[in-house]
Chains A and B, each alone.
Chain A
Amino acid sequence: MEIQQETCINESLYDVLVIGAGIAGEESALKLADMGYRVLLVEKEPSIGGKMILLSKVFPTLDCAACITTPKVSETARHPNITILTLTEVEEIVRDTKNRFSVTLKKKPRYVVEKDCTGCQECEKACPAIVNDQFQFNLTARKAVYIPFTIANPRVALIDIDNCLLCGACEKACPSNCIDFTQKEEQLKITAKSVIVSTGFKLFDPIQIERYGFGRYKNVITSMQMERQLAPTRPFNNILRPSDGKVPDKIAYVFCAGSRDHTVGNPICSQVCCMYSTKQAQLLMGALPMADVSLYYINIRAFGKGFDEFYEQAKDMGAKYVKGKIASITEKENGNLILRYEDIATGKVTEKEHDLVVLSVGILANPGITRVFKKERLETDALNYIRQTDLLQSPAITSIEGVFAAGTATAPMDIPDTIMSAGAAATETSSYLARLS
């Protein structure tokens, strides 16, 4: 793979540049590579896979997310027509005179020679610096030199230089001598005939909603933190609440935390929270058979194929759905939380105690990429998603000819819709490339 990567970089002409290697980017890249186009896939994180690779299971089939996504990740990684650059961000994209895009990339140093690392984790054992693990959403800690997560691809270490003590312990411990502190940030210039933007979404940070106490109350966590606790590669091998490590038995879900809410600037539905919360509720009832799970919602939006049946199934399993938006959360001395809401069914203000609260956080646009397009403007819509200029013709068409969009870069959507959107972007790109030649 590495050899091929180097030759490709030297040649530096690609049919397609795909920005973002989540499921949308991978799917588009694979489809185009299978058609014979040469694809450069750029990812700013140290591993490809995006957010799906971190999930527990998918709704409504309850398939293991990792089991579905890792084959796709591996296929992407070893496809002869795909070149992957991790820890790389796009700096500038300008159309040149030959109707191609000149692309400037910034590759951050890994401080580990990628092709020599065996993933043995000896460096991790030796490293004395401990920091929050962002891939476990701060549930646990990692070392300053680390492999992002168990099923990362490429499964090689990197050094988080901001937290590194520069003690050199990893260098001594490494059996293959691949630690290299002399690596520098590189600027790469390539040319691409077309671009697919698959930069995904950002999660809503619930610290904005002070009334929910996230960040102040230890036992208020996000749905992503719960997702990690339920995943096959989960950190605790159990469900534990953060304040005292107790196994919770009265769990509450707060729906629409940061969605359908004008006060946080995100008035739209995030499309997935109802269903992922329903999925987590089912998994929790499996993991903790004695636990009560209550889900506080405004409206249940189970609109997709099999979704409503999935919702009914959760209710049949014993999940308690309560109509009423949580207005405020207060913490008791023992770490339990009091949720205050109006029970819409009775019209009465009610307070309920729970020992763990999960905020079903919403999806926000991730529009940073629009800044790299020079001369031409990649337009966004009112909520900063990439504007689909001709939605009826194709969901992938953007305001720039030759630049297409895939997945949640265009709107909040679930995994099946993302796959469809990525397929549309690949089709649109191949037809554009055919027209170009």
Chain B
Amino acid sequence: MTQIQPELTEDIKKYGAFDFTACYNCGNCTAVCNLTEKNSNFPRMMVRYSMLGLKEEILSSKELWMCYACGECSDTCPREAGPGVLMSNLRRYAIANYEKTGLTRLMFKNNPFFIAITLILAVVLAFFLLTIKPDTEVARWLFRYVPYEVLHSFGMGAFALMGLSAFVGVVVMWRHIGKEKKIAFTGEFFKKAVNAAKKVIGEVATLKRYQNCDSDSSIWSKKAVWLRPWFVHWTIMWGFIGLLVATTLDFIFKDPATTIWWPSRILGTIAGILMVYGSTVALNYRFRKITKTYANTLMADWMFLGFLWLAGITGFWLEIAVAMGADLFINHVVLMIHIIISMELVILFAFSKFAHAFYRPLALFMHNL
């Protein structure tokens, strides 16, 4: 049964303030979009859902994740109702609703809370880092009361909670969209799933649909490829994945490789360059507010991009410091920051904007089923 909840409009607005209720249903947004397909028409549909408060329809919309926020719909909207901004808004809303602990909801709606939780996490992480060496002052004081193993398992617990939340989120999303799409696990399913997975991998590798966003009328068509949003996104995404692989390799071989020619270090360097480039350009666009999309930057965006950028910059600092063999106090501080930032990114993975990294491919997968 469809239930109309007009009060939901106000709740949705809390995920980023603007007036989508100005919409007069002309359909301009849907038609200027290069990514709308025969069986997926957005953003006007999402505007209607939001105005009527059709929560179930919003949460079961794979269309939310078909959009890459090029912002052309917002730029050309005759009512300045910001349909593209609403799409980003609803993605935040969906992430907050798929994630069942309520932490994401609080962080997205409440900036002071977001900052507070980031800072508290940083302090806790710093504390952990200072206690890793059992002969420090802090450690000696602490271990008198709490055994090292307990602290260690707290950390593990945090990771487990993140993993569980991500898993629950995926299941919840699957159930919402699956009900809408009426996905049945028949013999056909496996074949379709392989096909859909291929398409998703292809999209992740090339961002082919995202490339369609640079329409002739957008400002991007006149800019060089390496300045276009899809490429910037590609560098951040593959930079991060590359760094993740490099770090894992380092971890497996138990050697934060001192030589820069070590294969995992070469991978790390290249990936780092990509990520720092991408996040620098993206932050620059957001500071300069070059389109309506970039002008509408919320705390979640600043935090996510800022953390990626900081992690990349501190990583390079350390690489240079290690190569030069400089054992300075400042380098230890940078190492500390680097680890805290990286850990925060991982721990908040399921609770932040970062969560789109698994929701979006899943939605694309289901769309192609």
Interface positions of A (Cβ within 8 A of B)? 210-211, 256, 260-263, 267, 298-299, 324-328, 340-344, 347-349
Chosen A-B contacts, 7 in total, with CB atoms closer than 8 Å, are: A211-B32, A298-B25, A325-B31, A325-B78, A342-B28, A349-B30, A349-B41
Q: Is the CB of B79 within 8 A of A341?
A: no
Q: How far is the CB of B36 from chain A (nearest CB, A)?
A: 5
Neighbouring B residues of A344 by C-beta, 8 Å: 25-27
Q: Residue B27 contacts which of A211, A262, A263, A341 (CB distance < 8 angstroms)?
A: A341
Q: Within 8 Å CB of B44, what residues of A? A: 342, 347
A357 CB to nearest B CB, Å: 15
- Contact call A263/B31, Cβ cutoff below 8 A: no
A260 contact set on B, CB distance < 8 A: 24, 78
A-B contacts, CB under 8 A, total: 67
The chain B residue sitting closest to A298, CB to CB, is B26
Contacts of A328 in B (CB 8 A): 31-32, 217
CB pair B30–A256 under 8 Å, yes or no, is no
Which of chain B's residues 16-30 have a Cβ closer than 8 Å to chain A?
Answer: 24-30
Given contacts A260-B78, A327-B27, A348-B41, 11 further A-B contacts (CB under 8 A): A256-B78, A262-B80, A263-B78, A324-B26, A325-B27, A327-B29, A328-B217, A340-B31, A342-B27, A342-B31, A348-B38
Residues from chain B with Cβ under 8 Å of A298 in the complex:
24-26
Most chain A CB neighbours (cut-off 10 Å) among B32, B33, B41, B78: B78
**Most central of B30, B31, B41, B44 by chain A CB within 10 Å:** B31
Q: Check if B45 is an interface residue, CB within 8 A of chain A.
A: yes
A342 nearest CB neighbor, chain B only: B27
- What is the CA–CA distance of A299 and B78 in the complex, to the nearest angstrom? 14
Q: Tell me if B75 and A347 are in contact (CB < 8 A).
A: no
With A261-B78, A347-B41: A325-B26 Cβ-Cβ less than 8 Å: yes
Cβ–Cβ < 8 Å partners of B30 in chain A: 327, 342, 349
Taking CB atoms, residues of chain A closer than 8 Å to B26 are 256, 298, 324-325, 344
Q: How far is the CB of B28 from chain A (nearest CB, A)?
A: 5
Is B24 a contact partner of A341 (Cβ separation < 8 A)?
no
Asked if B77 lies at the interface with its beta carbon under 8 angstroms from chain A, I say yes
Contact B31 A324 (CB under 8 A): yes
Report the separation of the CA atoms of residues A415 and B31 in the bound assembly, to the nearest whole angstrom: 35
CB distance from B46 to the nearest CB of A (A): 12
CA gap between A262 and B38 in the complex, in Å = 29
A263 proximity list for chain B (CB < 8 A): 75-78, 80
Contact in complex: B80, A324 (CB < 8 Å):
no
- Separation in Å of the A258 CB from the closest CB of chain B? 10
Q: Give A325 to B78 CA distance when docked, in angstroms.
A: 10
**A348 cross-chain contacts in B, Cβ below 8 A:** 38, 41
Of the candidates B24, B38, B77, B217, the one whose C-beta lies within 8 Å of that of A211 is B217
B45 / chain A contacts, CB cutoff of 8 Å: 347
Chain B residue nearest to A324 in the complex (CB): B27
Chain A residues in 8 Å Cβ range of B24: 260, 298-299
* Cα–Cα, bound, A409→B182 (Å): 59
Shortest Cβ-Cβ A-B pairs, 4 listed: A342-B27, A327-B31, A325-B26, A261-B78
Complex CA–CA separation, A282 to B232 (angstroms): 52
Interface residues of B in 197-224 (CB under 8 A from A): 217
Residue of B28, B41, B45, B217 with most partner-chain A CB within 10 A: B28
Known: A327-B28, A341-B27, A342-B31. A262 touches B79 (CB 8 A): yes
Q: Which residue of B lies closest to A347 (CB)?
A: B41
Q: List B residues 26-54 near A (Cβ within 8 Å).
A: 26-33, 36, 38, 41, 44-45
In the complex, how many angstroms separate the beta carbon of A352 from the nearest chain B beta carbon?
Answer: 11
- In the complex the two chains form, is A342's CB within 8 Å of B41's CB? yes
Complexed CA–CA distance, A326 and B44 (Å): 14
- By a CB distance below 8 angstroms, the chain A residues around B38 are 348-349
Alpha-carbon separation in the docked complex, A210 to B75 (Å): 13
Q: Which residue of B lies closest to A261 (CB)?
A: B78
Q: Which has the most chain A C-beta neighbours within 10 Å: B24, B29, B32, B217? A: B32
Chain A residues within 8 Å of B78, by CB? 256, 260-263, 267, 325
B217-249 interface code vs A (CB 8 A; 1 in, 0 out)? 100000000000000000000000000000000
Task: Write the nearest CB–CB distance from A66 to chain B, whole angstroms.
Answer: 34
B107 → A minimal CB distance (Å): 32
Tell me which residues across on chain B come within 8 A of A340, comparing CB atoms. 31-32
Most B CB contacts (10 A, CB to CB) among A298, A324, A349 go to A349
Closest to A339 in B: B31
CA distance A348 to B36 in the complex (A): 9
Q: CB-nearest residue of chain A relative to B41?
A: A347
Q: Give min CB distance, B21 to chain A, whole Å.
A: 14
Q: In the complex, A256→B77 CA distance in Å?
A: 13
Residues of A within 8 A of B33 (CB): 349
A256 to B41, CA, bound (A): 23
A210 to B76, CA, bound (A): 11
B25: chain A residues at CB < 8 Å are: 298, 344
Q: How far is the CB of B52 from chain A (nearest CB, A)?
A: 14
Q: How far is the CA of A327 from the CA of B30 in the complex (A)?
A: 8
The answer for the CA separation of A298 and B78 in the assembled complex, in Å, is: 11
